[in-house]
Homo-oligomer: A and B are copies of this chain.
Amino acid sequence: MKRDIFQAIADPTRRAIIALIAIQAMTPNAIAENFHTTRQAVSKHLRILTECELVTTEQKGREIYYLLEIEKMKEIDKWLEQYRQIWETRFKQLEDVLAKIKKQKRKK
């Protein structure tokens, strides 16, 4: 039942929940109001997000606020980094080619 962060963000509803609590911490009920599902379904999503440490909870009386653990999002960024390097290299190569063409035109 160990889910990783990539599975966590795979579901559109969960991405929406993340977007919501990124702005401000919210209770399950408040979050559920934004979706066309039951509160329990949202609760399940929150459990998954908590399991892979993407969100934390903070109890205030009988209400539980869920907050986004923004640091965890960096893991995706870290994974993307290797590919960012590739597309930046390709862009650089494209620039070089364009520069070469420009140079050749000037010669005429």
Contact = CB atoms under 8 A, between A and B. Distances in A.
Contacts of A90: 70
A94 to B, nearest CB: 12
B80 A77 contact: yes
Interface centre among A22, A79, A83, A86 (most CB of B within 10 A): A83
How often does this chain occur in the complex, in copies? 2
Given A9-B6, A22-B86, A86-B22, A76 B70 contact: no
A82 B18 CA distance: 11
Main secondary structure of the interface of A (DSSP, over half): helix
A90 B7 CA distance: 26
A10 interface: yes
A73 to B, nearest CB: 5
Contacts of A22: 82-83, 86
Interface string A82-97: 1110110010000000
Interface of A: 4, 6-7, 9-10, 12, 15, 19, 22, 70-71, 73-74, 76-77, 79-80, 82-84, 86-87, 90
